[in-house]
Amino acid sequence: MPEAPLPTLPPGLSDEEQDRFFLGLAVEQARIGWEEGGVPIGAALVHDGRVLAVGRNRRVQMGSSIRHGETDCIERAGRQPASVYRHSVLYTTLSPCYMCAGTALLYDVPRIVIGENRSFQASEDLLRSHGVQVDVLDDPECIELMRRMIAERPALWNEDIGEE
Amino acid sequence: MPEAPLPTLPPGLSDEEQDRFFLGLAVEQARIGWEEGGVPIGAALVHDGRVLAVGRNRRVQMGSSIRHGETDCIERAGRQPASVYRHSVLYTTLSPCYMCAGTALLYDVPRIVIGENRSFQASEDLLRSHGVQVDVLDDPECIELMRRMIAERPALWNEDIGEE
């Protein structure tokens, strides 16, 4: 199924508004994933203000154990030179697990903007210890998506984070 | 293209021979990857002596930025319950990058057997600090595969580890 074309940043936004705009793309992906019966976590990879890719958790949709929101997004961005990752920002609706954090470390992504970390948090100290700028927006939509996920699909959620 | 059926452990092997056998499956995957024009790193995921999956780096073959040997292997094992990962061993021809180490941490894989860590090493301290048993076999075939890779396909290798 063809994906929608990648959105473009509207002109004239402040830095904070830009972060909210890009996080909004990740939230949209999370919502799509929820409607598909999956885990509602989404991501966007942005290079110098340009969206390289959006992605979402595809555990259910692809039967995948490695397609979290962030890794799916990075995969969809295709093979990029190191210099691109090193000047990119990764937006994600939920604080990254170790796999997704490790992917950001592999590629030296310098900044990660997180929708929320109340529902899950594992890797932020690791990321910061490697010099990654981690900004948590504490976004109500992201919190609500995960609240519903954990309440309504608890077994799927546990599977996604490797819990019994 | 259908893959070969998963091999079975021959009876009567010592623990060390079993490790060499499973590492051999990872080496075989690495060799296939090299012949395909890719990055010669392979892996095998083994649960209670049974091979769940083998995998190899598919950067070239699938245009993938997230299919390292270990992640490809875990993906090919399919969606497994947490209890399976927690009693599995991950064999890999080369010391894992942060993405692959993070994947093992996400799923609480308790032991990783590494062919060699002379060509690359990033995550072993992190893994050990989380209680993962990391055993390095210093295997000459693994070393030779990576020596040839770095000599003959240096740009591809740098891309694979996020270097300029």
pLDDT at A164: 87
Q: Please tell me the pTM assigned to this model.
A: 0.97
- Cα angle B83, B85, B91 (rounded to 5 degrees) comes to 155
Whether this model's ipTM surpasses 0.95 comes out as yes
Distance of CA A157 to the CA centre of its chain: 16
Sort residue B138 into left (φ over 0), alpha (ψ -120 to 50) or beta: left
Q: Which of A65, A71, A74 sits opposite B80 (nearest CB)?
A: A65
Which of B126, B159, B146 is CA-nearest to residue B42?
A: B146
CA-CA distance, A157 to A159, in Å (whole number)? 5
CA-CA distance, B28 to B41, in Å (whole number)? 9
Count the alpha carbons within 13 Å of B96 in the hemisphere toward its beta carbon. 38
pLDDT at B3: 66
Mean pLDDT by 10 residues, chain B (164 residues): 79 97 98 98 97 98 98 98 98 98 98 98 98 98 98 98 94
Residues in chain A closer than 8 A to B161 (CB atoms): 106
The stretch A3-10 carries a mean pLDDT of 85
What CA–CA distances, in Å, run from A16 to A22, A135, A155, B74?
10, 11, 36, 38
Name the 3-class secondary structure at A57.
Answer: coil
Lookup result for tokens 């061993």: B89
DSSP states of B105-164: HHTT--EEEEEE-SS--SSHHHHHHTT-EEEE---HHHHHHHHHHHHH-HHHHHHHTT--
User: In the predicted model, is pLDDT for residue A105 greater than 70?
Assistant: yes
Interface test with A, best of B103, B112, B130, B163 (most A CBs within 10 A): B103
CA-CA distance, A9 to B149, in Å (whole number)? 40
Backbone angles phi, psi at A54, to 5 degrees: -120, 160
Options B17, B70, B75, B163, the catalytic residue: B70
B11 CA to chain A: closest CA distance, Å? 31
Count the alpha carbons within 13 Å of A46 in the hemisphere toward its beta carbon. 24
Q: Which of A71, A98, A162 sits opposite B66 (nearest CB)?
A: A71
- CA-nearest residue of chain A to B105? A98
Domains defined for chain A, CATH in brackets: 15-161 (3.40.140.10)
Q: What is the DSSP letter of A63?
A: T
pLDDT digits 0-9 by tens, B127-143: 999 999 999 999 999 99
User: In the predicted model, is pLDDT for residue A72 greater than 80?
Assistant: yes
Q: Band of the pLDDT at A3, cuts 50, 70, 90?
A: low
Lookup result for tokens 């075939």: B141
Q: Band of the pLDDT at A5, cuts 50, 70, 90?
A: confident
Instruction: Name the interface residues of B facing A (CB cutoff 8 Å).
Output: 59, 63-66, 71, 74-75, 77-83, 85, 97-103, 105-108, 123, 126, 158-159, 161-164
pLDDT at A40: 98
Which of A139, A129, A68, A81 is CA-nearest to residue A107?
A: A81
Residue A152 tokens read as 């309504």
User: In the predicted model, is pLDDT for residue A1 greater than 90?
Assistant: no
Q: What is the DSSP letter of B78?
A: -
DSSP states of B50-71: EEEEEEE--HHHHT-SS--HHH
Backbone angles phi, psi at B86, to 5 degrees: -75, -10
pLDDT at A2: 59
Residues of A with catalytic roles: 70
Q: Band of the pLDDT at A71, cuts 50, 70, 90?
A: very high
* Binary contact (B103, A79; C-beta < 8 A): no
B122 CA to chain A: closest CA distance, Å? 9
User: In the predicted model, is pLDDT for residue A149 greater than 90?
Assistant: yes
pLDDT digits 0-9 by tens, B87-103: 999 999 999 999 999 99
CA-CA distance, B110 to B87, in Å (whole number)? 7
Residues of chain A by 3-state class (helix, strand, coil), percent to 5: 45, 20, 40
pLDDT at B71: 98
DSSP states of A76-123: HT-S--HHHHTTEEEEEEE---HHHHHHHHHTT--EEEEEE-SS--SS
Distance of CA A152 to the CA centre of its chain: 21
